[in-house]
Structure 1
Amino acid sequence: MPEPDRLAEVRVLSEQLPRFMRLVHALKTQQAGTDHRDRAALVLLHPLVRLGPLRQGALAELVHADPSTVSRHVAALVDQGLVRRVADETDGRASRLLVTDAGHAALESLRRERENHLDQVTAAWDAGDLATLTTLFGRLLDDITATLPSSIDAAAAPDPAEENR
Structure 2
Amino acid sequence: MNVRTLCLSILFEDEATGYEIRRRCVEGECSYFVEASFGSIYPALAKLEDERLVTSRTEQQEGKPAKKVYSITEAGRTAFAQELSGPLGDDVFRSPFLLFARYAHILPAALVEERINEYLQRTEADRSKLEEAMAGRTLSASDTWVMNYGRAVMGVAEQHLRSHMHELITLARAEPKKDAAE
TM-score by length of 2: 0.40
Which of the two has higher C-alpha Rg? 2
| TM-score, normalised relative to structure 1 | 0.44
